[in-house]
Structure 1
Amino acid sequence: MPEPRLPEPYGLWVDRTQTVTFSFEGQSYSGLQGDTIATALAANDQWLLSRSFKYHRPRGLLTLAGQDANTLVQLLSEPNALADRVLITEGLVVQAQNFSGTLKRDRNAILGWLAPFLPVAFYYKAFFRPRGVWQLWARFFRKRAGLGVIDQGFEPKRFAQSYRHCDILVIGGGPAGLAASIEAAEAGADVLLVDENVALGGSLNYADADADTDAEAAGSADGLARAALIERVEQFENLETLTGAICNGWYADNWIPVVQGEHLFKVRARQVIFATGSLEQPVVFRNNDLPGIMMSSAAMRLIRLYGVQPGRQGVVVCGSWEGYRAALMLARAGVSVFGLVDFRARPDDGHALIDQVQSAGIPIWFEHGVDQAIASVDQNHVAG
């Protein structure tokens, strides 16, 4: 069976000359420098990452942007770490969370069959009599539904702290954030640009706006736009950038704590611009939470940024032209795309992307939807 890792030029954020070894659930894996826990596991064909909070359903990659609970894992000293955000390091020990037995064969998965008898907050209605009995049941339910385990001997990190004052704080380093920062800097404002990713560019790093061009080519439209914007950003002395940084809140008088690694920046800004981007709306159908079902942006991130094939076969479900671009990128990455399901009616005037998708041998079904996804035999991955 071929490995999911794609050859160059795929994998903009990984260093193929540096191999990193880590463990997940007691098994040793290897990844590349720049991989996150989730992408390194995906490169090893390990798509099952965790179990859901209540019914212990299998969970896999969804957004690959640190915006969902599917990738929560246990580190030695940290519960509920985001596997799609934490970079792998040599010797890193990672455990899955919220299962009984093994991750693949979770005994508590039987709770899914009991779902009709376990409505929301059922325990508050069924276990409060006789008086005082809830205190006994509470321990059981908290342990059964809990996620990570806290290391009671953990010594908290000491964060370096510094202050930053600026005229304008821009949160988000995608195309909108870069453009806003440039505009403000040109007007003479003191600008601080913060982005949570390791590199600026946002969707320009992975999306393919120009479907006629190979998305991985250095001269693609998105690549050129990103390079041009970043080049302009670097020209301004009054524009500071912080990458790999998270804004932890927004308080009175535009006081915003920004965490970058083990450094806390206490930022006070006159004005704040939020350019945090957006995520697709998940399609609702039966079993839409199975591992192997992910956002198109997650699939494109896997391909472009980490050089990992999202799967060997697939179907794209969409309601916009972004799905067409994703289908073309998947096909170029060697994924056998069986078809594209478009909720919309076929446009009367046609569209260039329709012709390109059909030319790639991908059938399009307009005004169609998805009823359900079929699970694999072990119930841990989508099969159809």
Structure 2
Amino acid sequence: MSIGQWSEYINTNVKEIPPSGIRKFFDLAAEMEGVISLGVGEPDFVTPWHIREACIYSLHKGSTTYTSNHGLLELRESISQYLGNQGVRYNPQDEILVTVGVSEALDLALRTVISPGDEVLIPTPCYVSYIPCTTLAGGVPVTVATHMEDHFKLTAGKLEAAITPKSKVLLLCFPNNPTGAVMSREELLQIAEVVRRYDLLVISDEIYDRLTYTGEHTCFASLPGMRDRTITLNGFSKAYAMTGWRLGYAAANAEFIAAMTKIHQYTMLCAPITAQISAMEALRNGKSAMEGMVAHYNRRRRLILQGFKEIGLPCFEPGGAFYAFPYIGETGLTAAEFAEELLVEEKVAVIPGDVFGPGGENCVRCSYASSVEDLTEALERMGRFLQRRR
């Protein structure tokens, strides 16, 4: 049987999902020498030593076994305490599930609450996996575009206008990837009122909660009436520079967590014990190191914003995460053309905004989780690139 014939056996949903637009530019950049990448959504710091040391010590002690499907109780207790400080309490026994990264937590949450044909409201631009994961779960993604003039914030009016009788879930991410947008408690209260009025569920991805530079982060589940209709997702990758450890968690009412655990126990079984032990150390003793990294990101945020201003690239001020989302429409290039030509001509890798959904068509995502030296050089190269387009 030929390759073309074998494709007939592949699930239709899988065949129709396009490859990641981010991965395309990673692969192109990897083939070139001297590239400065502003594309990767990953801290440029190594996991703090005391966290790595906790892992090493656990291996010396022989901690190499399975854990409970839910994860180590001690870790769940630490997570419960952390979320309690954010204004919402969860029972560590049955309302918290430790997962293999936030990516698994998202997949579990969607597969748990979505039945075929249910609509998931997704503010865009959004993280590249939200729409495909919704499709794979049998849901129908309904995008709600946000725009630079609104600082890429979701408004109650835009949300309400997108709701239909099939709407079931609102998928939020603030601080946002790719825009860096944040929302205040007052703004989220308006969203919560729409959620309550239309009896929606909420999946709130708060992986960038610690990387908030303007105002205070608000955990959506802490808002009045939102705890039991919200599945909160979070993890350790961004705040503690633990991307490769693949550890996240979900917190929700016991019924949601029990249902998510059914899927988890038949697929992943449990998250790696060494990563869980290290995460306990991060929550207990990692605040100082985390705050130091966040301070570095904030300085780089100001650097890249000033740099964009000097080279004439409009960009709203991101309030969180470690991304800037400048507007490139004045160049006359599409986002894909801008990214490809910048990479070829100046060896700077950025991600076209349109891969993140509607609202990102005339923007590119630039990660400032890079050294000051690399950011400074990248800005000089981008300035030369723009000069040739004027």
> In proportion to residue count, which structure has more strand?
1
> In proportion to residue count, which structure has more helix?
2
- Where relative contact order (Cα < 8 A, 6+ residues apart) is larger, the structure is 2
Place the TM-score, normalised by the shorter chain, in its bin. Answer: under 0.3
Q: TM-score, normalised by structure 2?
A: 0.25
